[in-house]
Every structure is written in structure tokens, then in C-alpha cells.
Structure 1
Amino acid sequence: MKLQVLVAVIVAVALAEARAPIRYAQRGTRVAGDGRSYLVKVKDNADPDRVIMRGRGQMHRLMNFGMEQMDAEVGTQKIKIGKTKFFTVKGNPKLLESMQEDDDIEYIEQETMFYKSPCSDTQDISHSALWKYKEYLNSLQGLDRIDERNGAESGSYSPSGDGAGVYAYILDTGIHTGHSDFGGRAINAGSAYSHPYGSSDDDVDGHGTHVASMYPLEHFLSLEIW
């Protein structure tokens, strides 16, 4: 009897671990919309269109039983960055639970809102934070993380190549690809949202273009970022 109970517990734990986890917004974080919007991460070797098709089947089944609202959506937006694939879902917990059973889904994450907190004057920064910021300016400023494949920090920046054939993905506010310094090498791979103040494919903030400028440009090759 004890053996049967133990086996049942092991099977239950294994099934629980096999299900795609749902990552809900942390306390104090503002959720997007009415809180029913989610991003679904598809496994790298899976076909997102097939996953979406199965998800829509579950959605219609729940609608037929009155267990899902008629404004539910699965796969209205698809996002692909390199090998990383997502699609959007709008639905109630029952729909999410049914999609958890799909072996091609890595995880489901609730959409949340993020805002910048700009500091326009050093007077806005505490003394200790300002000191750390000055130390950061005198440091490698993150370069130590990109000269090794495993991402470990070695305390030095020693790139082994010149960056030829490397694709750099900038996940930011967009890129002003028309800038002459990019030499036509920058492209907008896509946008995960629509910006209310301009085209979602262009940089309407400036930060993304600034970050992208750290990579080899027409007039800054001497920096040897790669």
C-alpha cells in the first residue's frame, strides 16, 4: 500500500513539473489591460502555428461550455526574435490551465506594464547611488559580459574576434535604422507593441538607437566594441 502511494506521489509530481508554468505579475506590478493578457513562450524546436491551432481549439471548446468569454484570443500577435518565439493570449484561468498541458509550450507569462524612471539631474540621485554610478562609468560598463560565450565575468575585456558574421539583437525602444552611421546594416526585426506616439517600428524614444550605437558603426570603429 505504501509503495502504491509513493508511486502515485512520484507520478503526480512528475506531471506537475511537466506542465508549463504560469508566471503571474509580481505584487505591486501593474498588469496590462484587464489582467487577462499573457505571452506564451514556445519551445525552440516547436511550430508556433500548431501550438496556436491547438490553443484555439481549447478556447472554442471552453466558449461552447460558457467557461470562456467571447473576447478571448489565442495567437492574435506572434513575436519572433532569433529562435525565440512568443504569441499572445487573452483569456481566463481555465484557458491557461488547458494550454499548460501542451508539451510545446515552455511557459506562460502575464503581461505587465513597465515604465522608465529617468533622472535628468544628478541632484535626484542619492550620494551613495551617485558614487556607484561614477564607479560604473570608470568600469567596463558591461563589456566584460559579451566577450565570452558563457557570459561569465573575467574582469577584463578581451574579444577573440572582430565581430564579422555576428548578429546583435537589440531589445529596446526601437532603432533609427536610417541613421548613416549604421551603414544600412541595422534592420527592425519587429515590435511587440504599438507605440501611441509614433511608428512602432522606429525609435520614438532614442534609447534603443543609443544602445545599438555601441556596436561597430561607420564613425566609431576605433572603439573596438567587438
Structure 2
Amino acid sequence: MLMKPYARYKLSGMVHEDDSRYAVLEPGMKALAEQQIAPHYVTVPGGKQVPQYAPTVVGTSLAYDPASNCEGYFMSFRFQTNNNCYNYSTNMASNSFAQPGRMHGYFLTSPPSGPDVVKGAQLDGLVNLGAVTKEELAQHAKAQNGVGHYVALMISPGDTSVGWPGDYHWARCDATAQFDSWSQKDGGDQVTNFDFAGNPITWPPTANWTVNQGPLLQGNPNDIVVAYTFYCFMYVPATGVSLI
């Protein structure tokens, strides 16, 4: 039996189905005047329309510099809440809470699986490297002449017993020379170079990606704790990716 929490779970990558801010319109549909929030919609293959809160900005630097990355669009005074972990990791502020593959008409379903998220990211232009070592990442970077950057994908499977819909999370490498400095953006939160336990992210597979969602089930005072597990590394080509 699917348990329904009395409040929304906090998601890092996915969008809640009932979140009107990011409600995708079906082909040919128009949002009712009282329901339209986003100032712009992007039509993707298949005709669906994705809400967008500002034009896409592509970052020019991969350094850990939240105030300057993507012209500061990941900060509170800009469009922090409209960009998620996928936006930050790919260095593209689409201001649409971007979803892997959506620009190309591919829509993730809940709960998201590792293969499904990877498929969407590949459609956007990312390259799957699998669960490789630091040495293998370094070899790949050398073959690319140090151009482009690397991201790590974590997956949290759904749990119907507590109504957890499942989610994904991404982290971005800020130092391709040693691959020992990473950063992330947890959903609509601020950018940080710490994991979910407050430790510097030196290697995503061993970082702490556990989230205490708190007590969200009526009649159950226990905290609901969910965890994201490392799934794979992916390469973001210097030529860029296309996402919304």
C-alpha cells in the first residue's frame, strides 16, 4: 500500500507531480490565466510545453564560484529555486528545474532508475563513463585534452512503504587535475562543496548522501531517512549540452 505523506518530500532532482510551478502542458494546451506562473514555455519534441522562468545561461567557468557561475543564476537574488542539481552539474542555468532528456521529448517517470536518468542525460549530450576510478577519469580527461568536465550521478530508489517517490542527485567536479574537489546543488537550495553531512566532497562514491526528511507520516513520529547511492560518472563535453 502506498503511504501518502502529509507534506511534500524534499527532492534534489525530480519535480513533484503536483508542483504547479513546473507543470508541463500537454500538446495544444494553454495554462489557465489563474494557473500560469512561468513567463515562458519551451516546446519540446512531441509538443509538450515546459515552463521556464528566464532564458538559459551557460556558464563560462567550472571553478567553485557560486557567485559567478552562470552569471550568479544559482544564487538567491537570481533564479536559485528554479535550478536544480542537474542544472548546476552541467553548468547550465535553464531556470526550469531541468530534467534529463526533457529537451528531446524524453520524460522521466517516478521512481527514476539509474538507466533511465542516464538515458535522458545521454540524449542531452552527456557521455556515460560508468563507475570508473580516479585514474580512469584522469585518463579520459587526458584524451579530451582537459576540455569538458565531469559529473557524478546518485540515485535514491522509491519506497512505497513511506511514500518516497525516489529521486536522483548530481555533483560536479571542480578540479579535473586531481578529481578531489566536487560541489553540488541540492534541489532549489544554494550551491555548496559539502556533502549532506557537511563534509568536503573529495570523491562522490564515498561521500554522504543521506537525507533526514523528518516525520512526514500521520500517526508515525519516526523520522524518514532516505539515501542516495552513487551510480556512475558522466562526461559533459566542452561543446555543451542541450537541456530544459
Is the TM value for this pair above 0.5? no
Larger helix share, 1 or 2? 1
Which fold has the larger relative contact order, with Cα–Cα distance below 8 Å and residues 6 or more apart in sequence?
Answer: 2
TM-score for both structures, normalised by structure 2: 0.23
- Bigger-Rg structure (1/2): 1
TM-score for both structures, normalised by structure 1: 0.24
